[in-house]
């Protein structure tokens, strides 16, 4: 396979290795990549010579910086069915990874955001390096934390998931492990050793134990009391009021951050995280597909991508422009069932 291929597949000893191969685009995920990865995973699931799967990103900067948002913006604007096809097939892939019958080892080295999270966090073994920068930044581009965020965010300690959903905060390795997004810390310089040991048939727990190190203290753990105090409130408006009344610098900055996000996105994300706590994984993914159907018919996704990705002026003009202009019921339509259009699984 040529080096220009967007995904590389290799059988290395007993391991199937997937390499996301768009390093100049920070390995951003395309529809074509989804359509290559899913059938290969099925093939390897049935192949007795493949005992486990490793997924990694090419280059040193990123595992995967997210979905190919520019393409999704352009498809959505044009009414091209490829946009919904991407999310439908991506969510099915996320679900397949979650229930994969063999060990699935994600090497989260570098930037891992959005769509990349969906390729990694649902695996059985999530490895973080010192270069990991994790985030679910979707509310800042007029979307919501998807690719299974409905499931894993409410299951993070305390109100950590709500904090991450509304702020898009970036995490390093220790915080990712604390939040349940990663399992072990391995310095990037030892990943090749880890892959060699796994490919050579070493038991996974032994291979990881040989190269893993203590991740150190998690700043999120020290912030947990403050996060829970504010983010346990019953609405986004109440969270913001609590943060503003706090008087501290962190609380003030956190409120300012949330207020830069799409008001529609923050209302949806709040309800999404609360509802996700009560749903199983497939129900969460079905809910996300309902939500994305609403967002691609709206305004804020296109405006967010314009401001952040296309024009890069970082000054999105959201509609509605402020939470004060919205009521909780304004986002009810996003959560409505799709009938025959619901997400289905293999």
Catalytic (active-site) positions: 67, 115, 138, 146
pLDDT at 135: 98
What is the overall mean pLDDT for the chain? Answer: 97
Q: So what's the pLDDT on residue 3?
A: 53
What is the tens place of the pLDDT at every residue in 227-254?
999 999 999 999 999 999 999 999 999 9
Q: Is the pLDDT of residue 68 over 80?
A: yes
User: What is d(CA 118, CA 23) in angstroms, rounded to the nearest whole number?
Assistant: 18
- Tell me how far apart the alpha carbons of residues 180 and 255 are, in angstroms, rounded to a whole number: 25
Determine how many CB atoms are found less than 10 A away from the CB of residue 237.
16
Q: What is the pLDDT of residue 115?
A: 97
Gap between the Cα atoms of 271 and 291, Å rounded: 11
> Would the pLDDT of 328 be above 80?
no
What are the tens digits of pLDDT across the range 110-145? 999 999 999 999 999 999 999 999 999 999 999 999
Using CA atoms, how far residue 175 sits from 105, 222, 251, in Å, is: 19, 10, 19
User: Judging by DSSP bridges, how do beta strands 62-64 and 111-113 pair with one another?
Assistant: parallel
Full 3-state SS string of the chain: CCCCCCEEEEEECCEEEEEECCHHHCCCECHHHHHHHHHHHHHHHHCCCCCEEEEEECCCCEEECCECHHHHHHHHHHCCCHHHHHHHHHHHHHHHHHCCCCCEEEEECCEEECHHHHCCCCCCEEEECCCCEEECCHHHHCCCCCCCHHHHCCCCCCCHHHHHHHHCCCECHHHHHHCCCCCEECCHHHHHHHHHHHHCCCCHHHHHHHHCECCCCCHHHHHHHHHHHHHCCCCHHHHHHHHHHHCCHHHHHHHHHHHHCCHHHHHHHHHHHHHHCCCCHHHHHHHHHHHHHHHCCCCHHHHHHHHHHHCCCCCCCCCCCCHHHCCHHHHHHHHCCCHHHCCCCC
Q: What's the rounded mean pLDDT across residues 191-199?
A: 99
Query: pLDDT class for 1, splitting at 50, 70, 90?
Result: very low
Q: What is the pLDDT of residues 70-103, one digit of tens each?
A: 999 999 999 999 999 999 999 999 999 999 999 9
pLDDT in the model for residue 287? 99
pLDDT at 2 over 60: no
Over residues 15-41, mean pLDDT: 98
**pLDDT at residue 214 in the model:** 98
pLDDT greater than 80 at residue 225: yes
- Chain segment 262-283, per-residue pLDDT in tens: 999 999 999 999 999 999 999 9
In the chain, the domains with their CATH numbers are: 1-346 (3.90.226.10)
Overall average pLDDT of the 206-221 stretch: 98
């Amino acid at each position: 396979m040529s080096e220009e291929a967007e995904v590389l597949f290799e059988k290395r000893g007993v391991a199937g290795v997937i390499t996301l191969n768009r390093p100049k685009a920070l390995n951003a995920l395309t529809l074509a990549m989804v359509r290559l990865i899913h059938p290969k995973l099925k093939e390897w699931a049935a192949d007795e010579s493949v005992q486990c799967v490793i997924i990694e990103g090419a280059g040193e900067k990123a595992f995967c910086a997210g979905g190919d948002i520019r393409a999704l913006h352009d498809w959505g604007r044009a009414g091209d069915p490829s946009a919904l096809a991407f999310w439908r097939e991506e969510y099915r892939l996320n679900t397949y990874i979650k229930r994969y019958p063999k060990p699935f080892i994600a090497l989260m080295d570098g930037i891992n955001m959005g769509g990349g999270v969906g390729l990694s966090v649902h695996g059985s073994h999530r490895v973080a390096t010192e270069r990991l920068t994790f985030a679910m930044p979707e509310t800042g581009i007029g979307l919501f934390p998807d690719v299974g965020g409905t499931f894993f965010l409410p299951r993070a300690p305390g109100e950590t998931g709500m904090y991450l959903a509304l702020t898009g905060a970036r995490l390093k390795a220790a915080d990712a492990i604390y939040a349940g997004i990663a399992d072990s810390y391995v310095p990037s310089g030892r990943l090749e050793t880890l892959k060699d040991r796994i490919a050579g048939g070493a038991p996974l727990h032994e291979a990881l134990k040989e190269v893993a190190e203590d991740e150190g203290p998690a700043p999120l753990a020290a912030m947990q009391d403050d996060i829970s105090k504010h983010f346990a409130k019953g609405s986004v408006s109440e969270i913001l009021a609590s943060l503003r009344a706090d008087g501290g610098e962190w609380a003030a900055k956190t409120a300012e951050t949330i207020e830069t996000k799409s008001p529609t996105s923050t209302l949806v994300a709040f309800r999404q995280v609360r509802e996700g706590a009560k749903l199983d994984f497939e129900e969460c993914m079905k809910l996300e597909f309902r939500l994305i159907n609403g967002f691609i018919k709206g305004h804020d996704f296109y405006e967010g991508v314009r401001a952040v990705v296309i024009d890069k002026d970082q000054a999105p003009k959201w509609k509605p422009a402020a939470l004060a202009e919205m009521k909780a019921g304004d986002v009810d339509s996003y959560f409505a069932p799709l009938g025959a259009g619901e997400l289905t699984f293999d």
